[in-house]
Amino acid sequence: GRPVNDAFPLFEEPWKRVSDSCRVRVAVRLRPKNSEDLAHGADFDSCVELQPECKKLKLKKNNWSCESYRFDEVFSENASQKRVYEVVAKPSVLEGYNGTVMAYGQTGTGKTYTVGRLGKDDPSEGGIMVRALEHILSVMSLETDSVAISFLQLYLESVQDLLAPEKTNIPIVEDPKTGEVSLPGAAKVEIRDLEHVFQLLQIGGMNRHAANTKMNTESSRSHAILIRSSRIEDGSNTSLPNGTDNLFPDNLPLVLKSKLLIVDLAGSERIDKTGSEGHMIEEAKFINLSLTSLGKCINALAENSPHIPTRDSKLTRILRDSFGGTARTSLIVTIGPSSRHFSETSSTIMFGQRAMKIVNTIRIKEE
């Protein structure tokens, strides 16, 4: 038999390792220059240079200092939304896995464009959420399958429902046996067709805006989380990404629960605590807490540490089963081109580099 990996205690029940490890995939995406970048003169100075063909990115601190970093994928400012979806998200969307796609980066670098753009008028502009749900709709059988989504915002360590805004402070529940994380208090809406998906995402976006206006804050200060959950009774019908069909042997009956999380993280920029007042200080504290604790989990995973500190923040508690089990996690880090933001860009790239080292072990339950 295959060895059980004892060093990975995310699940209390015995789990059988069915494949070699599968690392978290990390892509970087460069936003095109915007008018603000260009307003800083014709001699616009970019601190990044991409070499997409060898998946490398050069970060120039100045004329003398330049570092080169390799990612799983490097998207230039010309990369289409379709290509980003296909490379970054599509492998996580397929049934049978806990798929997670997260966008991380400084505010204004294209996280929401990448993840949440609806593209209602111009489908080529549609982001990962729309494309993932469209893909799921296209493969599901309308008679027998049901796919439901929840759409949430995590702000100041409180989970708010973007589809049912009266629901705030939704508890995060963890199954003590399986480690499975769920939010049973959140609205789950069965999706019917693409038009319905647009409607729900639009309502969610409006509720996010309204909630943030009421609290006098910016959307960039909260994490937006879309969750699709489903249960698959028979793994042999499961479509798997190319090259991975040997993960689940034919003779093994499977009951797999799968879910997909798409997360538009709060802006990663450091928030200046000095000079801010009241809820600004709270915000700074909590955003720092959730992104710092996400970073700590990523580092612990990269080091194959026996303890992944997922309990430190609500963000990492929600993401707990994205960090192990049948998880297939991708991270897209977004950056802008301007050297004016060198330090934020550099810290975003370092975050992505640490995440490159994560190994998710794909396991299924021992029969």
Binding mask 187-226 for ligand ADP (x = CB under 6 A): ---------------------------------x------
Measured at the alpha carbon of residue 127, what is the angle toward residues 340 and 301, in degrees to the nearest 5? 70
Least distance in angstroms from the C-beta of 113 to ligand ADP: 3
Q: Between residue 74 and residue 133, which ones bind ligand ADP under the rule CB under 6 A?
A: 105, 107-113
160: left (phi over 0), alpha (psi -120 to 50) or beta: beta
Q: Using CA atoms, how far apart are residues 174 and 301, in angstroms rounded to an integer?
A: 20
- Looking at beta carbons only, is 27 or 256 nearer to ligand ADP? 27
Q: Nearest-CB residue to ligand ADP?
A: 110
- Looking at beta carbons only, is 324 or 337 nearer to ligand ADP? 337
Q: Using CA atoms, how far apart are residues 95 and 76, in angstroms rounded to an integer?
A: 29
100, 92 contact by CB (below 8 A): yes
- Looking at beta carbons only, is 28 or 163 nearer to ligand ADP? 28
Least distance in angstroms from the C-beta of 327 to ligand ADP: 24
Beta bridge partners of 190: 148
Least distance in angstroms from the C-beta of 220 to ligand ADP: 5
Cβ neighbours of residue 44 closer than 8 Å, sequence gap 6 or more: 33, 37, 38, 337, 338
In total, the chain counts a number of residues equal to: 367
Least distance in angstroms from the C-beta of 161 to ligand ADP: 21
Q: Say whether 112 counts as a known binding-site residue.
A: yes
Record the tokens describing residue 122, joined without a space.
């111009």
Binding mask 25-44 for ligand ADP (x = CB under 6 A): ------xx-x----------
Cβ neighbours of residue 81 closer than 8 Å, sequence gap 6 or more: 114, 117, 119, 124, 125, 126, 127, 131
Residue ranges of the binding site for ATP: 105-112
Bind-site residues? 105-112
Residues in touch with ligand ADP (CB under 6 A): 31-32, 34, 105, 107-113, 220, 334
